[in-house]
Amino acid sequence: MDERALVRSARAGDKAAFAQLYIRYRDKLYRYAYFKLGSAEDAQDAVSSCITQAYMGVASVKNEKAFSAWLFKILYRECCAVLTKKAQLGITVDIDDAQPQAGGDIHLAPELEEALAQLSPEEKDIVLLSAVAGYSSPEIAAMLNLKAATVRSKLSRSLAKMRTFLE
């Protein structure tokens, strides 16, 4: 079944259709959350909360083509909530200490981790949504409430910043 049909079925209350959608997106969701949060446990929690919210709100999805962006917006908010909570508790995120426990082996060269650390949170989000989750500029723009041209320019500048750091 194609994605739009699955979304229509899930909106109508079909639990199996929603489960299929989850299966399609779980690895991308986990990878994004892992690189954003730097912790396998936090990533699992954020994805779990995201999926719970998505399941409860799937009936509100108006455009089947926008399901992916809608889902990643939820995950983005969950990741931001985790980071805010950690900041309030005075906990810092150290990606070097993260040990993936689920969602497959996730390993970045230490140099690439350091290059990502040079980016602002928004730049990192754009790079992760593009490189890790595979979204286009218009899709990322919809998720982050930016213009597609802005996303393209920020992505280009961010990649150049990373390239310069790695040289």
In this prediction the pTM is: 0.77
User: 117 and 136: one domain?
Assistant: yes
User: 69 and 6: one domain?
Assistant: yes
Owning domain of residue 121: 108-167
Q: Which two tokens stand for residue 8?
A: 């229509």
**Separation CA 117–CA 121 (nearest Å):** 9
User: Residues 89, 143, 139, 14: is their CA dihedral positive or negative?
Assistant: positive
pLDDT of 5 > 90? The answer is yes
Whether residue 102 contacts residue 46, with contact meaning beta carbons closer than 8 Å, is answered with no
pLDDT tens across 51-102, in order?
A: 999 999 999 998 888 898 899 989 999 999 998 888 887 765 544 444 444 4
User: 94 and 165: one domain?
Assistant: no
**Separation CA 126–CA 144 (nearest Å):** 9
Q: Which amino acid, 70?
A: W
pLDDT tens across 87-142, in order?
A: 887 765 544 444 444 444 455 567 877 888 899 989 999 998 898 888 889 989 98
Mean pLDDT across 39-59: 95
Q: Is 82 exposed, middle or buried (0-12, 13-18, 19+ CB in 10 A)?
A: buried
User: 5 and 66: one domain?
Assistant: yes
User: 114 and 98: one domain?
Assistant: no
Number of domains in the chain: 2
User: 137 and 152: one domain?
Assistant: yes
Indicate the angle between helix axes 3-11 and 67-89, nearest 10 degrees: 70
User: 9 and 83: one domain?
Assistant: yes
Q: What angle do CA 113, 98, 127 make, to 5 degrees?
A: 35
Whether residue 64 contacts residue 4, with contact meaning beta carbons closer than 8 Å, is answered with yes
Whether residue 138 contacts residue 100, with contact meaning beta carbons closer than 8 Å, is answered with no
User: 88 and 152: one domain?
Assistant: no
